[in-house]
A and B are shown apart, each in its own frame.
Chain A
């Protein structure tokens, strides 16, 4: 979580300095993302992530340097070799299924992956995440419907930050919310506070237990805050209430997570400071290495269109 936050802060500075073209921030989502992935098994499970899953990608095993390579669109970016905008994570060996930039297509794709995993019968599952905006797409319905019919081992994880760029939930989602929609498919639908690490962990663990034991998919709605604008090309101050933004900033889940850990005696102010320093150094190294790394060779433009090219 700290690593994601520190890297993201650095990416913003680099964007404003004109060094990075485009960034989508996970700010406010980090706790929910890391809690969810921690409840699963990277290396065994499959992960269809979406563009705001920067912290989830780190939890799946991407390193700080790899994500910086992607931010700089360098040749060694492990997701796409600099072809996609950062946020489209992919790594076959880590089970992270390469994403794309339209909203929602990963949802029915995850149902198909889930069907394959069910056929293989090895107890692996497919985790797919998306924002509440994606739940307006037909693909949301098609994916949940298919996965529920075939009892596919899939966890549908909606990170509801209540804003799809500038469109608020009231104009996006009819009814009380996303979780209730699970009832229509006859699957469990659970709403959880995304800043509650242990709550998210418990809900995802239960969904994983169900998936692995052949009981089918679960829809989870984690309520989170969007503490940063949609992307570096957006400024949410133009359409969101200043007082509301200030109130949300005061509810930042990362300091709250630190307080919980200190309360439980699992962290001290000293070890927290030490961690932050360590992460800071890591961000320095990752940034320096990525900035110095070579761009893709223009001659590689036509590679990997087909198997033989």
Chain B
């Protein structure tokens, strides 16, 4: 099997799905000639042509709206928002239009499409290239939200998202685009189901529920805690809506303790929803309060390296948080 980093895995998924199904098309600012600012669509336009890999005007609302129009006519568009921060300029189209098409037409219309966007920080992207606004989308019934953390998951879940009958917001942690390389299967063997989390580290003392770039940070924290005799079980949610609550509950029944680690601002972040649901469902199994380990409530990640560092969660901060839960 070929070794791939995350952005290559995304490109492979697009390539395979475009080859498999000629209804699949890609659109967005810079996705054609340039192959995307992160190279996620590199080479696709020369392979599939300028109409199936379409450079759009720099206008996120119409990128989302055109994708919707194509979908309503039977195509399977994959729209790229250059940064998820920019997707807010298309928020009305995503939330009020795309997400509600099936519901508001009582099932007469549907709108299968994928909106891909790089998310998260730690790359000196500053306030408008570093945000983690996944909670905005997770709040919307009608959308599915995926946020993978490995090349294998990115490929398998993007292929599934393209085939899904409902609209999917597919968020790619940009800090991981060129981090880990992994052997990634080709074709149908790569497919992964939406909505299934994965236990990525076994442990008996505390459950750490996380996703995206925080998975790697949590893994480093867990390795340190292991030296202190604290064994952390890490669950990578992979899909945020619908999320795999049952897998989390099973783990909590074993550990009796849980922390949710997420890169977004603490208040109202998706991890807050996870914490609330697990507190409600697992109250009798818990030996410690459900804890959130998240980024501070400042508007976004500053440009200065010292301020960026101060904002970001790191293995120290996560280890401290997990230790508090383990020793409560």
Binding site for B on A (CB under 8 A): 77-81, 83-84, 88, 90-92, 97-98, 100, 102, 105, 107-117, 119-120, 126, 138-139, 142-143, 145-146, 149, 303-308
Contacts and interface: CB of A to CB of B under 8 A. Distances in A.
A113 B111 CA distance: 12
Interface string B229-268: 0000000000000000000000000000000000000000
Contacts, number: 128
Interface in B78-111: 92-93, 96-97, 100-110
A209 B66 CA distance: 23
B96 A105 contact: yes
Given A98-B108, A139-B65, A306-B166, 13 more contacts: A80-B105, A92-B109, A98-B101, A98-B109, A108-B61, A110-B69, A112-B68, A115-B66, A117-B73, A119-B75, A146-B66, A304-B106, A305-B141
9 contacts: A100-B97, A109-B72, A112-B65, A138-B61, A142-B57, A145-B59, A304-B103, A306-B142, A306-B165
A79 B73 CA distance: 18
B65 A307 contact: no
Given A79-B105, A305-B141, A105 B69 contact: no
A304 B105 CA distance: 9
Contact of A100 (B66, B100, B144): B100
B190 interface: no
Nearest to B110: A307
A84 B108 CA distance: 13
Given A142-B59, A304-B103, A119 B51 contact: yes
B102 A304 contact: yes
A109 B97 contact: yes
A8 B289 CA distance: 59
Interface of B: 51, 56-57, 59, 61-62, 65-70, 72-75, 92-93, 96-97, 100-110, 141-142, 144, 165-166
A78 B109 CA distance: 12
Contacts of B96: 100, 102, 105
A98 B101 CA distance: 7
Given A304-B103, A307-B102, A111 B62 contact: yes
Contacts of B51: 119
A115 B57 contact: no
B97 to A, nearest CB: 5
The interface centre, meaning the residue of B57, B59, B62 with most chain A CB atoms within 10 A of its CB, is B62
Contacts of A305: 102-103, 141-142
Nearest to B97: A105
Contacts of B67: 112
Residue from B61, B102, B103, B105 with most neighbouring chain A CB atoms (10 Å): B105
A111 B27 CA distance: 14
A204 B92 CA distance: 30
B106 A83 contact: yes
A142 B62 contact: yes
Nearest to B99: A305
A98 B105 contact: yes
A109 B57 contact: no
Given A98-B105, A142-B61, A146-B56, A108 B142 contact: no
A128 to B, nearest CB: 10
Closest 5 CB pairs of A and B: A112-B69, A116-B73, A112-B66, A81-B106, A108-B65
Contacts of A109: 65-66, 68-69, 72, 93, 97
Contacts of B57: 142, 145-146, 149
Nearest to A88: B104
Contact of A142 (B65, B97, B104, B109): B65
A80 B100 CA distance: 11
A197 to B, nearest CB: 30
Given A97-B72, A119-B51, A108 B93 contact: yes
A90 B65 contact: no
Contacts of B62: 108, 111-112, 139, 142-143, 145-146
Contact of A102 (B74, B92, B108, B144): B92
Nearest to A114: B69
A90 B61 contact: no
A111 to B, nearest CB: 6
Contacts of A112: 62, 65-70, 72
Q: Which residue, A80, A88, A107, has most C-beta atoms of chain B within 10 A?
A: A80
A112 B51 CA distance: 12
Contacts of A304: 102-103, 105-107
Contact of B108 (A92, A111, A120, A142): A92
A189 B20 CA distance: 42
Contacts of B165: 306-308
B28 to A, nearest CB: 13
Contacts of A83: 103-104, 106
Given A100-B96, A142-B61, A306-B142, A90 B69 contact: no
B99 to A, nearest CB: 9
A303 B109 contact: no
A113 B142 contact: no
Given A105-B97, A145-B57, A146-B57, A84 B104 contact: yes
Contacts of A306: 102, 142, 144, 165-166
Contacts of B109: 90, 92, 97-98
